[in-house]
Structure 1
Amino acid sequence: MKFLLSVLFCFAGTAFIAKSQELPLIPLPEKVTYGTSFFAINDQTSISLPRDKADWELIKLFAEQFSEILKEKLITTVKEPSKNTIVFKIKEDLADEAYLLDIRKDKIEISAKKPAGWFYGWQTLTQILRLNLQAGEGAVFKALSIADKPKFAWRGLMIDVSRHFFDKDVVKRYIDQMAKYKFNVLHLHLTDNQGWRVEIKQLPKLTSVGAWRVPRTGYWSGMPAAEPGEAATYGGFYSQEDIKELVKYAKQRFVDIVPEIDLPGHSLAFVASYPQVSCTKTPQQVLAGDPWNATRTNVVCVGNDSTYTMIDQIITEIAAIFPSKYIHIGGDEVTRNYWSNCKVCQQRIATEGLKNVDELQSYFVNRVAKMVKAKGKTPIGWYETLEKGLDTGIVQMSWKDEKGAVKSSNAGQKVILTPAFLTYLDFYQGDPYLENAPFTVNRLSNSYKFNPLPEGINIQNVLGGQGSLWTEQVPNERKLQFMTWPRGFTLAQNLWSKAPKPNWADFVKRIETQLPLLSMDSVNYSNYFYDPIVFAKKDSVGNVVLNIDTEVPGLTVYYAFDDTDPDQFYPRYKDESISIPKGAKNIRMVSYHGNRQKSRIVKLPIAELKRRAKL
């Protein structure tokens, strides 16, 4: 009965659907052709199971998802009814992840070469349904044909689970959201100075010691160090059974979990567990925040053969529990002065005929990469400029900028792009004075500029790209979501869509239609992209003046200097420099679209703005 009422209501609203020139999908499909009829789901609609029983589990998962959205159970049948059905077809001439979605008056048909294509076609269909329901249009689909396939094979997001640990249920919910927007790689940064997060049975201290640190809350920089005798109670790790469960869950959603063991730097949790792996051999504690001093050894001794024995034990177990073809071995930000002062490392340099500690790092990375290859896996490393060449079989993950990817791709290496200033999701999204994120800004409009194919790159060697979320300032799931969305939408668009890229104003409208879907899923997101952005400068006579802008076109900004909260009845900013009244301590700003408030009230001290003007 609910279905029928919904259908009746929807046909009353088809005039609205007919006026819609384009569905606000993210990512945009490659090609969409719209028809004039409608397919309406009702209590007799069925989902036809494909011939191969091996695919039934997947299709039944689809049925469960649709039933949950509609609050009614859909019928699954081994037959293919002539009408009022959703069917899945095999089409051998399509690419592996490509799909065709055909919505007609009598049926919905999803065609693909492989189940991955069915999955992505289903995500598109589900997104259309959710958008329709959100718009009050019910379970009615406008007739259309979509031909779609991804631009890149690697469409990733990375979570740093070392700085803060996120349990397997949090990771599952993250995977759910990734899959809805056609991401297919979850890169887990499993080890760092602040925690070791995966069980290695041959080296049990990695988790009994390395997974725990003293509890601290607050800003990462300057976090108080451990006190004498203080217990390490904050942290956690994934057992190997947890990993297998996560891998299975992700695989059902066509997400590949790629593990990272960060070496030879970023290794304090490793060293705290087994001090003999370092050059100094001195006892260490897992780092609670980001204070650093010369007594802390976060780099492994790369001259000692026993180090490689332990690493091989780690790689062996990682390869066994993660079916991904890739293992990330880190390789960035290594403090090499430990090796300069280590007799064993200096002897290794002499024995191997190396020039210096830079070449010693190349030696280490190549040797660990060989271990990874011996397990039938492909190694990935963070791009670093090193004097001695690296094994060209190592996939380079370019993070500082795009130059590393251009260089490596033209040297014959496969590359993945995650340039920090465009894709790092730990960078702040609003005014830096109001945020506690480290480093710098990566606003939503900036992340939309990410181009995984920068000028000069060898396209044949580009696997794709990812957004990377380091979690120094991300202590819980809500902040994890907040830092990912809506910037994740821009990454999904740039990594999947082969369609012409829409302009920024059009994409903002698409984002705005997607945000209520995140709310429906109880997923947190940032709306800082609506915030007014203030610029301070000195005028010709040396007075500080202010200019205000917004990321989103068409917003109106209202402001106040009198320490009251402005609304649409306050002074309106008119695209010209404004002077600071004498005695003013703060400026408060808010953006509106028409009569609707869009941003939070942004309050900034005048002293801070004058400081910026001097810079």
Structure 2
Amino acid sequence: MKSFLFGCIVFICAASPLAAQNISILPVPAKTVRTKGSFVIKQSMRIVAPDTALAKLLAASVRELTGIDLKTAATGPGSIYFLQGADSLGNEGYRLEILPGRINIISHQPAGWFYGIQSLLQLLPAERGIPCMEITDRPRFAWRGLMLDVSRHFFSKAVILSYIDQMAKYKLNTFHLHLTDNQGWRIEIKSMPKLTSVGAWRVPRTGYWKGMPAPAPGEAATDGGFYSQDDIREMVQYAAKRFVTIVPEIDVPGHSLALIASYPELSCTKQPQQVLAGDPWNTSRANVLCAGNDSIYAALDKIFTEVAALFPGEYIHVGGDEVQRIYWNKCPHCKRRINSERLKSAEALQTYFIGRVAKIVESKGKKVMGWYENLDSSMVPGMAQMSWKNTKGGALASQAGHKVVMTPAFFTYLDFYQNDPSLENGPFTVCRLSSCYAFDPLADGALETNVLGGQGSLWTEQVPNERKLQYMTWPRALALAEVLWSPRDSLNWPRFTGRMEAQFPRFDRAGVKYATAYLEPLVNAVIMPDSTYCIRLAAEVEGLDIHYSFDDTSPDNFYPRYTGAPVAIPKGAHHIRVISYRQGRPAGRELNLDLAELTKKAARK
């Protein structure tokens, strides 16, 4: 997790009632024209496609959604056709023509066929037929991603494959896999076997990440895991069939305790270390590689040789941020390196280190990417930058000629909690669904030609299992999928929430957990002119009635309804309970909040 604190700012958008539309495709296509009639899928129909794998994928999905078993063929008569064309829509664009007697999916490349399939499947099941229409669609950005941290908590290969499958359904095409950090090394490197025999394991711990108990003397490290090289190949192949590129990250020179625990001689102190079980911000842990030791670069050459052979995508991510340079300032090897290279400081040594690592990666035929760092020394030439603190750093990098991926924390960090922190154990601050939908990779004057796109990033300090993984991803990733695919002038918050809710039955069928925090009230204390405190309530979407109580009883729709004016806190009250209703039924969870904590927050503002 990137180590900083935000102010707890709540982003509020107005919205309209969330009635599902007849056409609820997400991301919203660039252009949709309704025409007369409907197309009814029947058992006797055939899919005619030159791409056998895609035809079978469509047939399997139709069977799952409708029970109808469509046949497939490479040529001949049929009812659903994959056609070559639509060159002007690029490699991922498509045209979907739904006519009363046939469906045409037209694209320049197979990726376009795949995305046309995803749009078609969102119109099913349709008992009365799929409404006829013509859709012309292409993505706004080439990089439409999700990042998953598998170091802080390890997730099995099956979980990864399911995650890829879900993201591909919404035209997300880049899966950034954070494979290494202080808490675990997750990829087999055959030339350095201790990385998985030692670095992949830590002592078992459960609970809140911060202040996790240290390992007891002699305690066995049994929690963890790693992906074998065969696992990686299977994941890469599975993703490729869904037009998802996996981008591996090997995070150096900081965030390297799992590497150092495996090979202590690679650190400045050369002292034995243990893989960390909890909070990484303990400066007694030497989690930084020794930039002055040439053996470091030899080890990294081995690692990146094997990584590059496993991942066919063009980028390898090397981390590069949050380096605790205090070790370098004390290390005789690093001091000598600073002098011999005529560097001004340990900060410049960080740029030197990343520059050498970049050359190693480039020597394997790959492009290098790292987290944007606001260093006084110049950025490594040709290195793509991933901007996480905000979009300003990415904008500066883009203007300086660097390719950029935007993942600003306030808009895209999916580990942040989604409503009040009393309900969730997410760290730092809030990232609401509406905040994700407000994300624009071209903010702050970024040079459009150098912005590859953006991604949501899910750090997993507080994500211990698959259900929490799903809950933190969806539906916020749906908002990001739309802003990264759809034209900016097509974005509409009320319509998006309707399309989003139309996806929930698909998640239910797939057994995927999702959050409904956007339906829950926003509760804040405010200081009035007479210095007393009142409570102000709000909703992220319209169409909600908010009911509340101060007497420690659970409110329902017979309790007082919030009308918009601040509500005075009764004497003696110590909690407020709040719940929202929509169309006479409870929506979201009941909030039970400590009034003392709310008033403290108001006083600090």
1:430-487: CA deviation from partner (whole Å, max 9, x where unpaired): 1123321111110111111100111411101010000000000000000000000110
Does the 8 Å contact 2:382/2:402 carry over to 1? yes
Q: Secondary structure at the match of 2:589?
A: coil
Q: Secondary structure at the match of 1:128?
A: coil
Name the structure 1 match of 2:108.
113
Post-superposition offset of 1:503: 2.7
1:94-121: CA deviation from partner (whole Å, max 9, x where unpaired): 3111111001011001011111010000
Equivalent of 1:538 in 513, 527, 535: 527
The number of residues matched between the two structures is 585
Matches within 5 A, 1:144-159: 144-159=133-148
Distance, in Å, in 2 between the alignment partners of 1:492 and 1:92 is 23
1:385-415: CA deviation from partner (whole Å, max 9, x where unpaired): 1222122211000000011111000001100
1:552-610: CA deviation from partner (whole Å, max 9, x where unpaired): 11211000111111111111111011111122121100001121211211000122122
Equivalent of 1:125 in 120, 131, 134: 120
Amino acid across the alignment from 1:488 = A
Post-superposition offset of 1:499: 5.9
Post-superposition offset of 1:291: 5.7
Amino acid across the alignment from 2:116 = G
Amino acid across the alignment from 1:534 = V
Does the 8 Å contact 1:102/1:109 carry over to 2? yes
Q: Secondary structure at the match of 1:65?
A: helix
Name the structure 2 match of 1:177.
166
Equivalent of 2:214 in 225, 228, 237: 225
Name the structure 2 match of 1:15.
none
Name the structure 2 match of 1:317.
306
TM-score (norm 1): 0.93
Name the structure 2 match of 1:73.
69
1:26 correspondence with 2:20: no
Matches within 5 A, 1:249-328: 249-290=238-279, 292-328=281-317
Does the 8 Å contact 1:222/1:291 carry over to 2? no
Q: Secondary structure at the match of 1:490?
A: helix
1:307-361: CA deviation from partner (whole Å, max 9, x where unpaired): 0000010000000011111100000100001000000001001111111001000
Name the structure 1 match of 2:457.
468
Name the structure 2 match of 1:376.
365
Q: Secondary structure at the match of 1:500?
A: helix
Matches within 5 A, 1:490-509: 490-498=479-487, 500-509=489-498
Does the 8 Å contact 2:96/2:106 carry over to 1? yes
Amino acid across the alignment from 1:88 = F
Name the structure 1 match of 2:94.
99
Post-superposition offset of 1:92: 5.8
Name the structure 2 match of 1:420.
409
Amino acid across the alignment from 1:46 = R
1:559 correspondence with 2:548: yes
Name the structure 1 match of 2:600.
611
Distance, in Å, in 1 between the alignment partners of 2:136 and 2:183 is 46
Does the 8 Å contact 1:327/1:372 carry over to 2? yes
Post-superposition offset of 1:505: 1.9
Name the structure 2 match of 1:576.
565
1:59 correspondence with 2:55: yes
Distance, in Å, in 1 between the alignment partners of 2:187 and 2:527 is 53
Amino acid across the alignment from 1:383 = Y
Q: Which has the higher contact order (CA 8 A, sep 6+)?
A: 2
Matches within 5 A, 1:438-453: 438-453=427-442
Distance, in Å, in 2 between the alignment partners of 1:293 and 1:598 is 41
**Unaligned 5+ residue runs, structure 2?**
1-18
1:177-227: CA deviation from partner (whole Å, max 9, x where unpaired): 100000000000000000000000000000000000000000000000100
Amino acid across the alignment from 2:67 = K
Amino acid across the alignment from 1:107 = R
Does the 8 Å contact 1:158/1:187 carry over to 2? yes
Distance, in Å, in 1 between the alignment partners of 2:597 and 2:414 is 25
Post-superposition offset of 1:80: 2.9
TM-score (norm 2): 0.95
Post-superposition offset of 1:21: 7.0
1:235 correspondence with 2:230: no
Post-superposition offset of 1:22: 5.7
Does the 8 Å contact 1:41/1:139 carry over to 2? no
Name the structure 2 match of 1:89.
83
Amino acid across the alignment from 1:73 = D
Equivalent of 1:404 in 393, 401, 419: 393
Q: Secondary structure at the match of 2:123?
A: helix
Distance, in Å, in 2 between the alignment partners of 1:573 and 1:295 is 51
Amino acid across the alignment from 2:557 = Q
Does the 8 Å contact 1:365/1:390 carry over to 2? no
Equivalent of 2:328 in 332, 339, 364: 339
Residues 350, 540 of structure 1: alpha-carbon distance in 2 compared, 3 angstrom cutoff: same
Does the 8 Å contact 1:192/1:269 carry over to 2? yes
Name the structure 1 match of 2:355.
366
Equivalent of 1:168 in 157, 169, 175: 157
Distance, in Å, in 2 between the alignment partners of 1:165 and 1:77 is 41
1:330 correspondence with 2:324: no
Does the 8 Å contact 1:558/1:567 carry over to 2? yes
Q: Secondary structure at the match of 2:576?
A: strand
Post-superposition offset of 1:71: 2.1
Residues 72, 420 of structure 1: alpha-carbon distance in 2 compared, 3 angstrom cutoff: same
Cα root mean square deviation, aligned: 1.4
Distance, in Å, in 2 between the alignment partners of 1:245 and 1:611 is 51
Does the 8 Å contact 2:183/2:277 carry over to 1? yes
Amino acid across the alignment from 1:67 = R
Q: Secondary structure at the match of 2:502?
A: helix
1:364-387: CA deviation from partner (whole Å, max 9, x where unpaired): 001100111111100000000122
Q: Percent identity?
A: 55
Name the structure 1 match of 2:16.
none
1:514-558: CA deviation from partner (whole Å, max 9, x where unpaired): 222211211001111111111102222222111100111121100
Distance, in Å, in 2 between the alignment partners of 1:213 and 1:532 is 39
Equivalent of 2:587 in 583, 595, 598: 598
Does the 8 Å contact 1:225/1:291 carry over to 2? no
Amino acid across the alignment from 2:27 = P
Post-superposition offset of 1:41: 0.5
Residues 117, 416 of structure 1: alpha-carbon distance in 2 compared, 3 angstrom cutoff: same
1:205 correspondence with 2:201: no
Name the structure 1 match of 2:45.
45
Residues 509, 276 of structure 1: alpha-carbon distance in 2 compared, 3 angstrom cutoff: same
After the TM superposition, which of the residue ranges 426-435 and 339-348 deviates more from structure 2? 426-435
Q: Secondary structure at the match of 1:281?
A: coil
Name the structure 2 match of 1:12.
none
Name the structure 1 match of 2:15.
none
Amino acid across the alignment from 1:407 = L
Distance, in Å, in 1 between the alignment partners of 2:64 and 2:28 is 25
Residues 399, 569 of structure 1: alpha-carbon distance in 2 compared, 3 angstrom cutoff: same
Residues 191, 70 of structure 1: alpha-carbon distance in 2 compared, 3 angstrom cutoff: same
**Unaligned 5+ residue runs, structure 1?**
1-18
Matches within 5 A, 1:137-148: 137-138=126-127, 140-148=129-137
Does the 8 Å contact 1:339/1:345 carry over to 2? yes
Amino acid across the alignment from 1:120 = Y
Q: Secondary structure at the match of 1:432?
A: coil
Q: Secondary structure at the match of 1:433?
A: coil
Amino acid across the alignment from 1:86 = I
Distance, in Å, in 2 between the alignment partners of 1:100 and 1:342 is 60
